[in-house]
Structure 1
Amino acid sequence: MKHNLKFKYIKKNLISDNNINYSYKKSLSKPSWIKVKLPSDFSTIHKIEKYMKEYNINSVCKEALCPNIAECFNNGTATFMILGKLCTRICTFCAVKHGKPLLPNHKEPDNIANIVNIMNLKYVVITSVTRDDLKDGGVNQFTKCIKKIRNLEKSIKIEILVPDFRGCVNYAIEAIRQEPPDVFNHNLENVPRLYKQIRPHANYKNSLNLLKKFKKFNPNVITKSGLMLGLGETLDEIINVMYDLRSHGVSMITLGQYLQPSKFHLPVYRYLLPEEFNLLYNKAKSLGFIHAFCGPFVRSSYNADLQHKN
């Protein structure tokens, strides 16, 4: 789908209730702490991009316009995005393109395993676009990737960041149970009050139940979730989501600042202060999250290996 069509969809669904009033005419100026530091050496970045192109593998770092792409690529890490680069849903904050995707590439698991081997990765993150067009929601591609990587080296840590598997949750959980990752991640993205505007095809309770069900059948696997902040939510609402996550068995959380990827996406409602991220970090730890990563540039898979150790 072309960006202008997505823009029309976003304008039609603008948030304009309570104290929320987004405007496309005026953008907030970025504060001093929102500044991406570029690396002095781009050789590693070019090398990883070459591998991605050679093996026909997508990176969510690039497709989602992540602000940390230079840092992560320069550190030799990346988050692989399977099942193509066209999503079957439209989320008004997301830079990943929407459209009718192709059938899954049966060579993709082998290709990802080859890149993992070439890059000598010790921690691998795999995510995907949402594939409502597939009966299995794409879960079998996840498990094939996990199996191929495990065959390389049992000690490699694997994190998967999955969609909500709408309509096939039980099947998906059972499939992943056969090839479990080290970390199971599903992002709530924001607070339930704003779901209609930012995640119109998702359901807050269903996402929570996915995390809870997975934990029930995989008690030894860490469950994780993340939120983007600055879309109009309040601190109290964020903390309420933290309580919900803990009550559903989630022990790892990431909180980062939403940054508008283009003029065709929802604008930033406000930039959180660094002190607010510190407050939320302390609250997360007090609630019993064993891993909490909070800050303006934090993303779900940003320095995921360090998050796992945090």
Structure 2
Amino acid sequence: MTATTATVRKVAANTSVRHYLARVAFGLVLTIVGLLFALPLVWLVLAPFDATPSLSLQWPDWTLDNFARLFQNPYAMRSIGNSLLLGIGTMIIVVVLGALAAYAMSRIRIPGRDGILYGLLLLSSIVTGTAAMVPTFQIITSLGLINTYTGVLLVLAGGILPTVIFILKDFMDSIPKSYEESARLYGAGPFRILRDVVVPIARPGLAFIAIWTIVQVWGNFLVPFILLRSPDLQPAAVLMYTFYTESGQADLRLISAFALLFSAPVLIIYFVVNRRYGFRFHGGIKS
């Protein structure tokens, strides 16, 4: 009996040691991964204030001359405004049309509905912006929308809508139909039900879609680069491509300062919306 107890204790001790070592190894892995993600963020914060920034992480020689040079560029601040215009414009189009389409797909029993949703999501993932750029350019040219925000907004919104409908449809499915039936008993019409019943409940999903859309548009380079010709209309993601020195090298002083300003609006929007609405994400299609 004593030998059995000692064996049990030994096995328990070995198990405890292995569990402890596994936790330590897991913690080390998470620390290394966290550092890999943190180093670029530290560079983003420090490099703009360095008189001689480089691609390596170093303690900066503190200066504000990089921002002074950046503000002398006549297109820098305008490009951030252009990015905001494209991001907010695309967000409005996507949220409105996506909410209406997702609500209709959720409430109307269409034959093959789930297949249509998966097909739209699959095609939007396979036929990326790069693959569809030539026909897209031809269509926008034939419509006379080259070098206009209208053409860029249509292309950006069209590429994002399938994923938005797929996500929002699940939020609409989670809303009990009894709420809408109660509203109908009091004489509410379809659009009033959507506005006063559905939208307030699906608000976290709409907030998530709004932020996700702005992020997708904010860093989009290819579409505005191809469809916009005038420097006055170019967004920040395209303008950053032009920051070179006279010798043809990347101007890290301008790039680092502009990158910090470029990332600030999205972070501000995210924290404001998250504080106001919060985020809850539910995936999949409910039958």
Shared fold (TM-score, shorter chain, > 0.5) = no
The TM-score by the shorter chain falls in which range? under 0.3
Task: Name the structure with the higher strand share.
Answer: 1
Normalization by structure 1: what TM-score?
0.22
Greater Rg over alpha carbons, structure: 2
Calculate the TM-score normalised by the size of structure 2. 0.23
